[in-house]
Chains A and B, each alone.
Chain A
Amino acid sequence: MKKEIEKMYEQEPKTWYAKLLAAFLVAALLAWSMSAVQTGKTGGDGLSVAAKIISGIFHPDTELLFDFTTSGVAYLLLETMCIAFLGTIVGAVLSVPLSFLSATNLVPKPIALIFRTFIMAIRTIPAFVYGLMFIRVTGPGPFAGLLTMSLCSIGMVSKMFIESIEDLDIKILESLDAAGCTMFQKIRYGILSQLFPDFMSTLIYRFDMNLRDATVLGLVGAGGIGAPLIFAMSAYKWNQVGAILAGLIVLILIIEVISTKIRVKLTRG
C-alpha cells in the first residue's frame, strides 16, 4: 500500500522550479515598483490628518443630509441616479450595434477585430477627458455627465454583450427553421429570448457601476454629486463630506441589494 502511494507521489509533475521562477519574478517586480513610492509634503502629521478626516466623516452635517432643496444631498443623489440611469440606457443603445459588429460568429474576423480595437480605444480615454469634450457640446451640467457616462459604459457593456452574442445557441434557430418560422419569428423567439436576460443583467450591473463612478464627473463640472463632494473635500469640510458620503454609501448599498436580487432572478429564470 505504502509503495503505491510513494509511486503516485513520484508521478506528480515537478513544478517547483516554475513556481520558484514565478515567485522570483513577482518579487523582482515588486522591488522595482517600490522605487516609485514617494510621499510628498502634507499639511501636518499624516496620522492626525487621518484622525480628523475620520472623525468628520462619522459626524456628518445633518443639516445638509436632510436638506430637501436642490442643494441638499437627497436631490444631488436623485440627479446622480438619473445621470447613471440615462447614461446606461444611451450607452446600451450605442453598444448594441457595436457588439453585433464585433461578434466573431456573425461577422468576418478582420471586421470584428477592427471594431474591438475601436471599442478598446473608446475605453482608454479617461472619463474626465470625455467630460471636457461634452461640456463644449452641452455646457456644464448633468446633461454633459449623462453623455460622458454613456461613452464610458460602452467598453464594459459591449464586452459583455459580445460574450452573450457569441454564446448564442444556434441549434434553437435551426429547429425554429425546421418548424417553418419566418425571419421575424426566428428573431423574436430564437434570438431575443436568449439575449434579453443576459443583456438586462449586464445593464443592471453597469447601472450599479455608473452610480459608483459618477463622482468622477464632478471633477469637470458635469453634474451629479461629485462636484459638491470634491469642493467639500478641498475645503476640509469633513462634516459635509461625511454627509454626502453617508448618503452615497446608503444609496449604493440599497441599489446593490436590489440589483443583485434582480440579476439572480434573471439568470435562474
Chain B
Amino acid sequence: MELYDKIFKPKKLTLANGKIIEEKRSRTPFILLLLLIATVVSVRITGFSLATVIKRGNQFFVILGQMFPPNTGYIGNIWGPLLDTIKMSLLGSFIGGVLAIPFAIASSSNLIKNRIVLSIVRVFLSIVRTIPTLVAALIATYIWGLGTMAGTAAIAVFTFAYVGKQLYELIETVDMGAYEAMEAMGAGKVYAFMTAVQPQVLPAYLSVCLFCLEGNVRYAAILGYVGAGGLGLILNEKIGWREYDSVGMILIILFGTVLVMEALSHFIRKKLT
C-alpha cells in the first residue's frame, strides 16, 4: 500500500493556519480495478453468460415443478431415515463438541504460554477445518463401511474443527482478572480455570454447539449422498429414479425439521444468555 501512495501522490491541503496536511488518495479505484479483473477472469473460465440464464432459465423450474404436488404417500418411508439423520447429528455434534474442549484450551494464548504448543495445535485445528466434509465422510465410509457410523464420524470431525476455533476465540476474550486472582490465592491452574474461566465461556460455548447441531442436520442430508446414512440416502435414491414428487416430500419434511430445530435452539440460546 505504500507503493500505491508513491505512485499516486497524496493530495496536499493548506489549512487556514498555514499548516500543510496530506490527504491520501482513495483506494477505491484500485480495489474496484482488482475486482473487475477478477470478475473478467472468472467469467472467462466459468463460461458465465447471462443470455443462457435468461433463455434457458425456465428449465430450472422443470424439476422444481415436478416436485409439486409432493407425493404424500411416501411420507411413511421418511421417518426412519429422518430420525437417523437427527441421531447422527446429535451424537456427532456431542462428540465433536466435547473433543474440541481440550484442543481449544491448548490453543488459547492467555492460558498456554508456550508458543510452540500454541502454534502446533492451531495449525492442526485449521488443517482439520479445511478438510471438506464430503471428503471426511467418504474416508469414513471406507473405514467404517456404509452406514450411520461414517456419517456420525464426519459430523464429529466437522463440529470439532468449527467449535474448536470458536471456543478458543471465546476463551481468549475472557476477563482474566478472576483467573489471576484465583492463582494469586494459591489455586491450581485446573481449579482456577474451572471456577474463573469456565462460567464465563459456558453459555457461549453451548450456544455455538447448538448452532452447529442445527447446521449439522442440514449437512447430514448431504452426507447420505456418499452412503453415510440418513435422509440423504433416500434423497439420492429418489433423485436417481427421477421420482421428483418423493424428493419434494423429503425436502418439505427436511424443511420442517430444520425449522423446528432452529426454533428450539433459538429458544435454548435465549435462555442461556
Tell me the bound Cα distance from A129 to B225 in angstroms: 11
- Indicate if the CB atoms of B49 and A143 lie closer than 8 Å: yes
B164 adjacent to chain A (CB < 8 Å): no
- Indicate if the CB atoms of A129 and B239 lie closer than 8 Å: yes
**Binary A-proximity of B28-65 (CB < 8 A = 1, otherwise 0):** 00000000001101110111110011001101101110
Known: A37-B152, A233-B135, A233-B138. A248 touches B130 (CB 8 A): yes
- Indicate if the CB atoms of A134 and B60 lie closer than 8 Å: yes
From B15-23, B86-94, B170-178, B189-197, the one touching the partner chain is: B86-94
Tell me the bound Cα distance from A142 to B45 in angstroms: 8
A29 adjacent to chain B (CB < 8 Å): yes
Tell me the bound Cα distance from A69 to B235 in angstroms: 36
Question: B51 to nearest A CB, angstroms?
Answer: 11
Query: When the two chains form the complex, which single residue of A86, A137, A226 contacts B52, counting CB atoms closer than 8 Å?
Result: A137
Which among A33, A86, A132 has the greatest number of chain B C-beta atoms within 10 A?
A33
In chain B, positions 204-243 with a C-beta closer than 8 Å to chain A are: 218, 221-222, 225, 229, 232, 235, 239
- Indicate if the CB atoms of B88 and A36 lie closer than 8 Å: yes
- Indicate if the CB atoms of B222 and A126 lie closer than 8 Å: yes
- Indicate if the CB atoms of B52 and A245 lie closer than 8 Å: no
- Indicate if the CB atoms of A126 and B221 lie closer than 8 Å: yes
> Hey, which chain A residues are within 8 Å of B198, CB to CB?
none
Nearest residue, chain B, Cβ from A156: B215
B: number of interface residues (CB 8 Å): 62
- Indicate if the CB atoms of A43 and B142 lie closer than 8 Å: yes
> Hey, which chain B residues are within 8 Å of A101, CB to CB?
none
A11 adjacent to chain B (CB < 8 Å): no
A124 adjacent to chain B (CB < 8 Å): yes
- Indicate if the CB atoms of A141 and B143 lie closer than 8 Å: no
B126 adjacent to chain A (CB < 8 Å): yes
Main SS class of interface, A: helix
Query: When the two chains form the complex, which single residue of B139, B221, B239, B255 contacts A121, counting CB atoms closer than 8 Å?
Result: B255
- Indicate if the CB atoms of A85 and B42 lie closer than 8 Å: yes
Nearest residue, chain A, Cβ from B149: A39
Query: When the two chains form the complex, which single residue of B43, B45, B86, B139 contacts A53, counting CB atoms closer than 8 Å?
Result: B139
Question: A113 to nearest B CB, angstroms?
Answer: 12
Question: A121 to nearest B CB, angstroms?
Answer: 6
- Indicate if the CB atoms of A136 and B130 lie closer than 8 Å: no
- Indicate if the CB atoms of A216 and B134 lie closer than 8 Å: yes
Query: When the two chains form the complex, which single residue of B41, B53, B87, B218 contacts A33, counting CB atoms closer than 8 Å?
Result: B87
> Hey, which chain B residues are within 8 Å of A173, CB to CB?
none
> Hey, which chain A residues are within 8 Å of B86, CB to CB?
33
Which among A42, A83, A120, A121 has the greatest number of chain B C-beta atoms within 10 A?
A42
Question: A157 to nearest B CB, angstroms?
Answer: 15
